Amino acid sequence: MARTVRDAVLSSRTARARLQPSGKPYYKAIDAGLHLGYRKGKSGGKWVVRWYVGKRDYRVETIGVADDVIDANGTDVWSFAQAQSEARTIFLARQREQSGVPTKSGPYTVRKCLEEYLDWLENNRKSGQDARYKINAFILPEFGDIDCAKLTAHKIQKWHEELAKQPARIRSKLGKCQKFRAPPTDDDTRQQRRATANRVLTTLKAALNRAWSAGKIASDDGWRRVRPFGEVDAARMRYLKIDEAKRLINASAPDFRQLVQAALTTGARYGELAALNVEDYNPDSGTLLIRTSKSGRPRHVVLAEEGIALFGALTAGRAGTAAMLAKSTGGRWKAAHQLRPIADACKAARIRPIINFHCLRHTYASHAIMNGCPLMVVAKNLGHADTRMVEKHYGHLAPSFVADAIRAAAPQFGIKVESKVTPLGKPGQSSTKAQDGKPVSRPVNRHPVLESRQVPGTSATALGGRRVGLRLPPRE
């Protein structure tokens, strides 16, 4: 329920008895733009409700008789608290009428609220596919037929906690029984399930908040007090080392290899790459136009030398409307088409655990930041509005004054690590054996394993300042 407002002048019949009779009501604000009024007559008073309709105009309706003489019953005689509740009910009904929502065809259920929210997502955002999955799988089975006005914080909180205890779902065929993974048993798995529960709760709150803002739900108290699990969204991000990226490229099927190369040189998402046309590459500026992005806003991705060479080869002599990255069968890459090729390539490249395609985006950003690229520049190329997401996921990789200061000034205790394994060398050195068998260190390139041997048809240029070595597709 919404909070009951107190007022020394109107709360009690004793206080109201001291007021002078007046044709103009004594008003008390109970919500933004909503007022409860008391019109004092010679023999008693009546409650009225007033709300703002815009352009300095208000609408007023009578609620009923005040409990100045007869005790309140909530039907035809109202106390101050009961009048507040009725005022909100009347205000909500008028708002629903104005919004085109029927007021006499039953309650405004969570199902109706979620349907309207999904329609809004489809019309105003790139897609509502992820929200639709969460709603159908987790929210509708629990709350679908419940009146939004009857949702309580206790009910939502209990559902949220139970959701975190459920095992993760496994992709199942349509119409078949839903499959699940093993229940969460370790801390990492529990944290992942809690993070998932938080994201589902966010979807539910977003739908309810939108309906509440439109005046279709009287109060947001039922879900506003529900808090998500804390400290479960810490950055847990994996990226490939340069030699792993090389192995993945070499192990990929020819058509999928182009997609992997494009991801590593742009940091673009799978869906963004799949939607590219040949005309989206601008050789004059060395940029790639991402028309379809997660945020709905187009952006230009600045390419390094390696990316320019790759996309120059992919677009040479081709029609502008053709798909930039096509499958071997000639069609575009669609949703989930990348799952099996990335798994097969990881197995062939001996990359464990198997990564998903989004890891290539992390790889691009991680190596760019480790090589000193400013966070704002990386955020802009990735399509983020500011640096918050980049700082959350990659900030610990950036060159840091704190890290440099600690490594320079931390105390040294003469600790010697005993090991029978002879290291190959420190970063910046390689180890060879002299004639007496003792290891001798000599300076070499900082990342010798990252150097790529140049072969015909191969370009090895900068990925965030490091060299990957991409075999370019042949010109058509």
Residues 306-354 have pLDDT tens digits of 999 999 999 999 999 999 999 999 899 998 899 999 999 999 999 999 9
Say which range, 3-7, 155-159, 454-458, has the weakest mean pLDDT: 454-458
Tell me the mean pLDDT in the region 150-160.
93
How confident is the model at residue 104, as a pLDDT? 52
pTM: 0.59
Burial class (CB in 10 A: 0-12, 13-18, 19+), 185: exposed
Please indicate whether residue 399 or residue 63 has the higher confidence score (pLDDT): 63
Q: How confident is the model at residue 462 (pLDDT cuts 50, 70, 90)?
A: very low
Q: How confident is the model at residue 455 (pLDDT cuts 50, 70, 90)?
A: very low
Q: How confident is the model at residue 460 (pLDDT cuts 50, 70, 90)?
A: very low
Q: Is pLDDT above 60 for 461? A: no
On the CB side of 183, CA atoms within 13 Å amount to: 5
How confident is the model at residue 126, as a pLDDT? 67
Tell me the mean pLDDT in the region 35-50.
90
Tens of pLDDT along 352-370?
Answer: 999 999 999 999 999 998 8
User: With contact defined as beta carbons under 8 Å apart, do 114 and 208 qualify?
Assistant: no
Tens of pLDDT along 273-284?
Answer: 999 999 999 999
Say which range, 39-48, 320-329, 407-416, has the weakest mean pLDDT: 407-416
What share of the chain in percent tops pLDDT 90?
47
Say which range, 120-134, 248-262, 379-393, 414-428, has the weakest mean pLDDT: 414-428
Assigned fold of 242-402: hpI Integrase; Chain A (1.10.443)
On the CB side of 223, CA atoms within 13 Å amount to: 24
What share of the chain in percent tops pLDDT 70?
84
Please indicate whether residue 469 or residue 120 has the higher confidence score (pLDDT): 120
Phi-psi region of 178 (alpha: psi -120 to 50; beta: other; left: phi over 0): beta
Q: Is pLDDT above 90 for 142? A: yes
How confident is the model at residue 210, as a pLDDT? 93
CATH 3.30.160 fits 13-99, yes or no: yes
How confident is the model at residue 472, as a pLDDT? 56
Instruction: Provide the 3-class DSSP secondary structure of residue 79.
Output: coil
User: What whole-number distance in Å separates Cα of residue 31 and Cα of residue 25?
Assistant: 17
Tens of pLDDT along 175-222?
Answer: 778 888 888 888 888 888 999 999 999 999 999 999 998 888 888 888
Say which range, 138-142, 236-240, 277-281, 446-450, has the weakest mean pLDDT: 446-450
User: With contact defined as beta carbons under 8 Å apart, do 301 and 267 qualify?
Assistant: yes
Tell me the mean pLDDT in the region 444-471.
42
In the chain, where are the structural domains located?
Answer: 13-99, 110-224, 242-402
Which residues contact residue 286 at a Cβ distance below 8 angstroms, ignoring those fewer than 6 apart?
A: 302, 303, 307, 308
User: What whole-number distance in Å separates Cα of residue 434 and Cα of residue 287?
Assistant: 50
Q: How confident is the model at residue 449 (pLDDT cuts 50, 70, 90)?
A: very low
> Which of 206, 29, 212, 224 minimizes the C-alpha distance to 131?
206
Task: Please state the length of the chain.
Answer: 476
Instruction: Provide the 3-class DSSP secondary structure of residue 471.
Output: strand
How confident is the model at residue 433, as a pLDDT? 46
Max mean pLDDT among 15-29, 211-225, 307-321, 412-426 falls in: 307-321
- Judge if the upstream peptide bond of residue 374 is cis by omega within 30 degrees of 0: no
Instruction: Provide the 3-class DSSP secondary structure of residue 82.
Output: helix
Say which range, 63-67, 89-93, 302-306, 377-381, has the weakest mean pLDDT: 89-93
User: With contact defined as beta carbons under 8 Å apart, do 39 and 50 qualify?
Assistant: no
Which residues contact residue 362 at a Cβ distance below 8 angstroms, ignoring those fewer than 6 apart?
A: 237, 238, 239, 393, 394
Q: How confident is the model at residue 450 (pLDDT cuts 50, 70, 90)?
A: very low
Tens of pLDDT along 239-255?
Answer: 999 999 999 999 999 99
Please indicate whether residue 105 or residue 77 has the higher confidence score (pLDDT): 77
Q: Is pLDDT above 60 for 122? A: yes
> Which of 307, 271, 310, 304 minimizes the C-alpha distance to 290?
271
Look at domain 110-224 and name its CATH class: mainly alpha
Tens of pLDDT along 424-446?
Answer: 554 444 444 444 444 444 443 33
On the CB side of 260, CA atoms within 13 Å amount to: 30
456's tokens: 């015909």
Beta 429-433 vs 179-180: how paired, if at all? unpaired
How confident is the model at residue 99, as a pLDDT? 66
Burial class (CB in 10 A: 0-12, 13-18, 19+), 109: middle
Cα dihedral 266, 270, 274, 280 sign: negative
